[in-house]
Chains A and B, each alone.
Chain A
Amino acid sequence: MCHALPVKIIALTGSDTAKVSLGGIVKEISVALIDDPQPGEYVVLHVGYALAKIDEAEAERTLALLAAEGSDVVAEFTAPKPAVEAS
Chain B
Amino acid sequence: MRKLTIPEEEYMLPGHTACLGCGATIAMRYVLKALGKNTILSIPACCWAVIPGVYPRRTLEVPLLYTAFEVTGAAISGIREALNAMGKEDVNVVGFAGDGGTADIGIQALSGAVERGHDIFYIMYDNEAYMNTGIQRSGSTPMGAWTTTTPGGKKRMYKWEPKKNVAEIMVAHNIPYVATATIAYPEDMISKLKRAKEIKGPKFFQIFSPCPTGWKHSPDKTVEVSRLAVQTNAFPLYEVINGKYRITVKPKHPKPIKEYLRLQGRFRHLTEEEIELIQKEIDRNWKALLKKERCSQEEE
Real binding pair: no
- A residues adjacent to B (C-beta < 8 A): none
